[in-house]
Amino acid sequence: MKDLTCRVLVVGGGPGGYVCAIRAGQLGLDTVLVERAALGGTCLNVGCIPSKALIHTAEQFHAATDTASETGLSFGKATVDMGRNVAWRRSIVDRLNRGVAGLLKKAKVRVVTGEARFLDGKTVEVTDGSSSYRINADDVVIATGSDPVSLPDVPFDGPVLSSTEALSLTEVPDRLVVVGGGYIGLELGTAFAKFGAKVTVVEAGDRLLPQYDSALTKPVADRLKSLSVTVHTGTTVVSVSKTGGAVTLQLRTPDGTERTLEAEKALVTIGRRPNAGSAGLSELGLDMAGPAIAIDDRCRTSMRGVYAIGDVTGEPMLAHRAMAQGAMVADLLAGKKRKWDVRAFPAICFTDPEIVQVGQTAEEAKQQGIEVKVSEFPLAANGRAMTRERTDGFVRVVAEKATGVLLGIQAVGTEISELSAAFSIALEMGARAEDVAATIHAHPTQGEGFQEAALGVMGHALHI
Amino acid sequence: MGRYVVKLPDVGEGIAEAELVEWMVEVGDTVQEDDALASVMTDKATVEIPSAAAGIVTWRGGEIGDIIAIGSELVHLDVPGFDDSGPKDASEQGAAEPDSQPSPSPQSPTPPKEPKPARSEAVEPPNQVKLSTTRVLAAPSVRRRALEAGIDLARIAGSGPGGRVVHADIEKADQNRRTEPGQAEERPNEEVRVIGLRRKISERMSLSWSRIPHITIVEEVDVSALERLRGDMNARRKGDGVKLTVLPFLMRALVIAIGEQPALNATFDDEANVVTQWGPIHIGIATQTDTGLTVPVVRHGENRSIRSLATELARVAGAARDGSATREELTGSTITITSLGPLGALATTPIINHPEVAIVGVNRMSVRPFWNGNAFEPRMMMNLSSSFDHRVIDGWIAAVFVQRLKQLLETPALLFAEMEK
Ligand SMILES: Cc1cc2nc3c(=O)[nH]c(=O)nc-3n(C[C@H](O)[C@H](O)[C@H](O)COP(=O)(O)OP(=O)(O)OC[C@H]3O[C@@H](n4cnc5c(N)ncnc54)[C@H](O)[C@@H]3O)c2cc1C
């Protein structure tokens, strides 16, 4: 048993933990990071990055096989070597892993590999095979992330996959059932559909992506239909049986009848659970907010000197939230004044088309008693969208009626995610519709849709 | 081990809440039964809350300066051998029927709703922008600078378009706070929270000043005779008798003057529009203590001799200073005297002890030349600065009262003659 002491101990090397550690190191704090698996956490290894790589190649494959295109292009028979595709994705992940390791080293962070177990609010024990450490710190940051939730009594094995296994499939399954129509299930389900799998989505709610309004999700639902994806909403899984190389799901439909569905693989994406109970965390007796560790606006837990960041603190479980919290906590630990002061929190679904939501919806603003003006610009009137053969979607701006101050922006469209930067900056800077309208947006880009929607708030959109 | 909950007991009649002014324990401390856990402050009295059990403090129910309702949870103790297997939803029950006794009451092992840090946006859904977005327009860098400089953005009038707060506004606000530019670096600004007695004083002063139109009359009093008499009386004082100051004489004069003008011994309930003229004369004496101004009360001035007034005054003022004064001794005055002793200045503008209608201020005594018709004569002079609630006391009434005080003090025999009646 080796004893280590440090100023800051970060447990978990995902986007929350590694960003916190790097920043703490940059600020001159003696920092130790403990990670049991690979640096970069869920996001880098089995989340954001590999999923987006999969989505990218799926779209390319689909474009090459799209016979409906009127562009005059045609390709020979497209094929995919999924094994190589997985290896290619792995290489991106490896490069980023090494990048993170390099950044940590440069910031003089000591990285300890192994499973951490909390002995108390200041001490963890780390075991890695034969070697073990006891690490004592002045301040501790819990960044243990989250794990996928499985169906009751149906563990992830064989043909029943979590997103992690789905991302390492070396063959495209003939038939794939996706249980759970949230963004992770739809992103992966769409990708496999583009690779030629027969995909069925089973969602218990009455529509897909229930946290977004129906106008935003409609283009996604339409696209799924054109990709021959079957969607069963209001449908629950009653039982799952694994039979040889396949899986059979018993479903209950909204009218109460039961039906069976057979597939080679079932991908279960019904949510993620904060890693807040294991690793001796429950013995710390921290205050909880449901399954997550409760935090205040400085990511402080109920125990002094113990902070929590990222997925372990609950929704929204997104990498950029974890990173922003990590950087904030490092600043706080270095004695800077900080608090969670975020007005524009972007959430993106990398579905097809993509959905971006930043700031408030009209509904949320109205609930606060704000009178709003809503303006929507359809991409069907956007030149760039036409040149890319995809005119489904729109940009919608919600502004305060009296002042034109932007309150929120929602958009759906192909690769519209890149506009989230413009949306967030406008909101954080406190822009009015007039400011956006008076800013020249290059032609031809989908960004012009943002400018047009802002003009619409002022009552004079040009191109509709 | 069980969780034992100490609640804030009933600390005085009709009191619904109290301000937490001091913690005597930290989380992790071991306490014995009857050890003081915290001090809370009600209207005027500060009360120590004792522990009803021995154990280890696991939770404290608030920060200094918080207002806590009677019956709410003050401290959690881990008590060895204490059975806390109450009903499973006891935490809700506990809130529903606050137990005002600090006696053992079994609580559920579930901690009550944690009052510590307010849960933040961080655990809220992503798309929530606080209303302040529409109120305070400011870029993230401006907001951060304001936070670092300890400036509340909501209090700054932004100079940008539509009231947008820009960097220059923060700089200006920061500079305005420095009294002497250039020296501010040497001594950091300090924020002192207005809590406890100071907060009470602040509230009462604002209440009085904002509600009561004050009329202040300054009059000079020739106290040469009074001073001679006082000297004699002090010289003949018995071993344990208190030394007489000028105050008991003034109190006696007040009693006599009020006998003729009962309207001055009154409180004015300006919400009900009722002036109550009080029978007994309870004289409040504004007294400086280590923590600030308090007003101990000499009750029933009308029944007391000068010596009795002096003895009682010394007792209640002493109790106020050493913090042992009871609530009874700190409330219920019907008229107030304020005196700064040797610091009493030439004249002051006393603020009425709301809801009373008059306050008499005593200024410094000094030898001043006095024109006796032929020549200047050195006389011992003292000013009285008295304020009145002009809504219910006319200037004429106030002037008559002050003149009467002057007369009584200049001819001290009257103070005793009147007593014979
Ligand atoms: C398929 C998929 C796609 C996603 N796509 C996106 C996206 O496009 N955009 C987005 O913003 N978010 C996305 N997410 C979510 C994102 O991955 C998470 O929000 C993010 O990773 C959370 O970061 P974190 O640091 O809180 O936790 P994690 O990334 O989960 O990291 C936690 C780390 O802690 C380690 N750890 C846990 N316990 C211990 C212990 N006891 N000892 C040592 N180490 C421990 C784990 O091994 C892990 O590496 C996606 C997630 C999935 C699954």
| Alpha-carbon distances, residue A170 vs A89, A134, A350, B186, B292 (angstroms) | 12, 40, 22, 68, 78
Considering the domain architecture, whether residues A113 and A66 belong to the same structural domain is answered as yes
pLDDT in tens, B401-416: 999 999 999 999 999 8
Beta-bridge partner residues of A8: A31, A139
Residue A341: inside a domain: no
CA–centroid distance, residue B167 to ligand 1 (Å): 37
A439 shares a domain with A329: no
Report whether pLDDT(A323) > 70: yes
What pLDDT does A388 receive?
92
* pLDDT for the residue numbered B184: 46
Q: Residue A313 and residue B123: Cβ atoms within 8 Å?
A: yes
Q: Are residues A177 and A318 in the same domain?
A: no
Closest CB to A296: pick one of B119, B138, B139: B119
Lowest mean pLDDT: which of A317-326, A410-419, B137-146? B137-146
Does pLDDT of B97 surpass 70?
no
A295 within some domain: yes
* pTM of the predicted model as reported, rounded to 2 decimal places: 0.64
Q: Which of A136-140, A157-161, A236-240, B33-37 has the lowest mean pLDDT?
A: B33-37
What is the dotted CATH code of the domain comprising B123-179? 4.10.320.10
**At which residue do the structure tokens 């205050």 appear?**
A287
Q: Domain check: are A280 and A257 in the same one? A: no
CATH of domain B2-96: 2.40.50.100
A444: preceding bond cis by omega (within 30 degrees)? yes
> B196-420 sits in which CATH class?
alpha beta
Please indicate, yes or no, if residue A386 is contained in any of the structural domains. Answer: yes
Phi, psi torsion values for B386, nearest 5 degrees:
-120, 135
Closest CA to A190 of A93, A62, A81, A346: A62
User: Roughly what angle, to the nearest 10 degrees, separates helices A48-65 and A183-194?
Assistant: 30
Ligand 1 midpoint to CA A97 (Å): 14
Stretch B307-331: mean pLDDT, rounded? 90
Same-domain check for residues A36 and A103: yes
The 3-state DSSP class for residue A270 equals coil
Average pLDDT over residues A175-202: 97
Categorize the per-residue pLDDT at B96 as very low, low, confident or very high, splitting at 50, 70 and 90. very low
Say yes or no: A248 and A383 in one domain. no
Tens-digit pLDDT profile for residues A69-86? 888 888 888 999 999 999
Residue with tokens 């054109």, as numbered in its chain: A226
Contact B126 A295 (CB under 8 A): no
| Residue A154 maps to a domain | no
Residues A59 and A200 in one domain: no
**Closest to A296 (Cβ–Cβ): which among B120, B133, B144?**
B120
Q: Do B137 and A314 touch (CB under 8 A)?
A: no
Q: Does residue B394 carry a catalytic annotation?
A: yes
pLDDT for B219: 96
pLDDT at A38 over 50: yes
Q: What is the pLDDT of residues A399-425, one digit of tens each?
A: 999 889 999 999 999 999 999 999 999
Lowest-pLDDT range of A308-312, B290-294, B302-306: B290-294
pLDDT digits over A361-385, tens only?
999 999 999 999 999 999 999 999 9
Is there a domain that residue A464 lies in? Answer: no
Residue A230 makes CB contacts below 8 A (sequence gap 6+) with A199, A200, A201
Q: ipTM of this predicted complex? A: 0.76
Instruction: Assess whether the C-beta atom of A281 lies below 6 angstroms from ligand 1.
Output: no
Write down the pLDDT at residue B130: 34
Q: Compute the count of residue pairs across chains A and B with CB atoms less than 8 Å apart.
A: 112
Task: Supply the residue whose CA is at minimum distance from atom 1 of ligand 1.
Answer: A47
How far A79 CA lies from chain B's nearest CA (Å)?
A: 40
Same domain, A174 and A216: yes
Which range among A9-18, A227-236, B365-374 shows the weakest confidence by mean pLDDT? B365-374
Does the pLDDT of residue A14 top 60, yes or no?
A: yes
Judge whether A310 lies within some domain: yes
**Is the CB of residue B107 less than 8 Å from the CB of residue B53?**
no
CATH number at residue A224: 3.50.50.60
Q: Are residues A265 and A278 in the same domain?
A: no
Spatial separation of the C-alpha atoms in residues A311 and A244, rounded to whole Å: 35
Kindly give the interhelix angle for B395-410 and B413-420, rounded to the nearest 10 degrees: 100
Mean pLDDT, residues A387-405 taken together: 94
Q: Residue B363 and residue B385: Cα distance in Å, rounded? A: 7
- What pLDDT score does B153 carry? 86
pLDDT of residue A280: 92
Whether A278 contacts B101, CB under 8 Å:
no
Q: Where does the pLDDT of residue B347 fall: very low under 50, low under 70, confident under 90, or very high at 90 and above? A: very high
Tokens of B37: 């856990």
Q: Please answer yes or no on whether A429 and B139 come within 8 Å at the CB atom.
A: yes
Report d(CA A141, CA A19) in Å as an integer. Answer: 12
Alpha carbon distance A122, A238 (integer Å): 45
**Domain regions of chain B by residue span:** 2-96, 123-179, 196-420
Tokens for B141? Answer: 């860098």
Q: Which domain holds residue A200?
A: 160-270
Which pLDDT score, from 0 to 100, does residue B87 have? 38
- Chain B residues touching residue A428 (CB < 8 angstroms): 139-140
Pocket mutation for ligand 1, best pick of A19, A48, A124 (most atoms within 8 Å of C-beta) = A48
* Count of structural domains, chain A: 3
Mean pLDDT of chain A: 95
Both A16 and A72 in one domain: the answer is yes
Do A281 and A416 belong to one domain? no
Of A333, A363, A383, the one marking the end of a domain is: A333
Q: For residue A444, what is the domain's CATH number?
A: 3.30.390.30
Interface contact A432-B144, CB threshold 8 A: no
Residue B91 pLDDT > 50:
no
The reply to whether A339 falls in a domain is no
Confidence of residue B113 (pLDDT cuts 50, 70, 90): very low
Question: pLDDT (tens digit, 9 = 90+) per residue, B65-90?
Answer: 888 888 888 898 888 776 655 433 33
Closest C-alpha among A147, A353, A356 to residue A268 = A147
Question: B125 pLDDT exceeds 50?
Answer: no
> Which of A20, A44, A132, A144 for a ligand 1 pocket mutation test, highest count of atoms within 8 Å of Cβ?
A144
Q: Which site among A212, A298, A341, A428 would you substitute to test the B interface, given the most B Cβ atoms closer than 10 Å to its Cβ? A: A341
For residues A342-358, average pLDDT: 96
